[in-house]
Amino acid sequence: MHIDVLEKRWMWLVGLMVVIMLGTIFYTALANAVHPPSNVETIDSTRLHLSEEFAEDKLGVETMADGSVRVTMVAARYGIFPQHIEVPLKTPVTFRIATPDVLHGLHIPFSNMDTMVIPGFVSEVTTQFQFEGEQPMFCNEYCGLGHHYMWSRVKVVAK
Ligand code: CUA
């Protein structure tokens, strides 16, 4: 079968692109622990304010017996509550987040904390912050007209 030289080059180029893209996925997954959330836990979104865990006065940062930290948050149109949290440096921090309304996505720059928050589910992400200082936590899934107002502050402090 005859294949044109130009066509052959394109085939190699496409093959190379596939290898680079798959390589990037495997590298970030294995070296940087970047992966989709694996927590499948359901919750009644319409009754968040009455739940044991996500009622308004239960939100915030809590230090567990083993020294790790748990952060309970609610992402709702248009804010992330609490609006300001403080977490320790280089310590396992587990975020548990739910939403009472629509799909949101939460991201903290310079960390691998990045998750979708889906109505009906609890999103759980465990990470360790490697840099001190204050970062925004913002919504990166378009959720309505006030999407760009939806952010809060995360301060990472030395233990
Ligand atoms: Cu919430 Cu965009």
Burial class of residue 145, CB neighbours in 10 A (0-12, 13-18, 19+):
exposed
Tens of pLDDT along the chain (159 residues) come to 898 999 999 999 999 999 999 999 999 889 887 776 677 888 888 888 888 899 888 899 999 999 999 999 999 999 999 999 999 999 999 999 999 999 999 999 988 899 999 999 999 999 999 999 999 999 999 999 999 999 999 999 997
From the alpha carbon of 148, which atom of ligand 1 is closest? 2
From the alpha carbon of 78, which atom of ligand 1 is closest? 1
What sign does the CA torsion over 34, 39, 40, 42 have?
A: negative
Kindly provide the b/e burial profile for residues 120-134, where b requires at least 16 CB atoms within 10 angstroms of the residue's own CB: ebbbbbbbbbeeeee
- Cα of 149 vs centre of ligand 1, distance in Å, is 8
Measured between alpha carbons, how far apart are the two ends of the chain, in Å?
68
**59 contacts 80 by C-beta, under 8 angstroms:** no
**Residues contacting ligand 1 via CB (< 6 Å):** 104, 139, 141-143, 147, 150
- Cα of 125 vs centre of ligand 1, distance in Å, is 18
Which residue's CA is minimally distant from atom 1 of ligand 1? 104
- What tens digit of pLDDT does each residue of 82-120 get? 999 999 999 999 999 999 999 999 999 988 899 999 999
Pairing relationship of beta strands 151-157 and 84-88 according to DSSP bridges: parallel
H runs (alpha helix) in 33-145: none
What is the Cα 150 distance to its own chain's centre?
A: 14
Q: What are phi and psi of 136, to 5 degrees?
A: -80, 150
What sign does the CA torsion over 136, 145, 106, 35 have?
A: negative
Return the CA Rg of the chain.
Answer: 20
Burial class of residue 98, CB neighbours in 10 A (0-12, 13-18, 19+):
buried
Q: Can you read off the two tokens belonging to residue 64?
A: 């567990």
